[in-house]
Amino acid sequence: RIIFGLMNEPYDIQTETWLTAANAGITGIRSAGATQLILVPGNGFTGAESWCNAGGYSANSDVMVKVVDPMRNFAFEVHQYYDNAGGKNSDCFNNTLASTTFVPLTIWARSNGFKLFLGEFGAANNSACRFVIQDTLSYLSANSDVYIGFTYWAAGPVWAGVPGD
């Protein structure tokens, strides 16, 4: 099976500019005859927790509703780390659980008929963070009408020597 991913974590551009680029990418993929699923990230590192917040740019929730796919075969890819460094710190930055972190995004996607893919998530290897990760998996399962899958992120030399590695 083939799944297209438009880009990894666009940032530092206007969300409207990213929407134009994403729609152009989708048009190109469909014009080539491809019918497979396309994963579309949002602006601002495509953060799940920040999807519905402006944070210096227009909120993804306000702009990305204008994604155009003539096949309507796409899902928004989001990322979520539970520390302030992409899962490299030994502590979760808060004890916010997926059951609260993902709620605004999930409500937005469900109310707009969108699917979501959690393309990156991670936290340190300790009991508190493992609890948060388990809560994330439970939340995704309980909301499988919206979330079509996930990938856990913990690879590469940047993680060497991380506490709990």
Residue tagged active-site, from 9, 16, 49, 77 = 9
| Amino acid letter for position 20 | T
User: In a 10 Å sphere around its CB, with 0-12 CB exposed, 13-18 middle and 19+ buried, how is residue 19 labelled?
Assistant: buried
Helix (H) or strand (E) holding 83: none
* Catalytic site includes residue 120: yes
* Catalytic site includes residue 9: yes
Question: Cβ(42)–Cβ(21) under 8 Å?
Answer: no
Q: Can you tell me the distance from the alpha carbon of 147 to that of 165, in angstroms, rounded to the nearest whole number? A: 28
**Phi-psi region for residue 113, left (φ > 0), alpha (ψ -120 to 50) or beta?**
left
Distances (CA, A) of 19 to 13, 60, 61, 105, 158: 10, 9, 12, 18, 31
- What residues are labeled active site? 9, 120
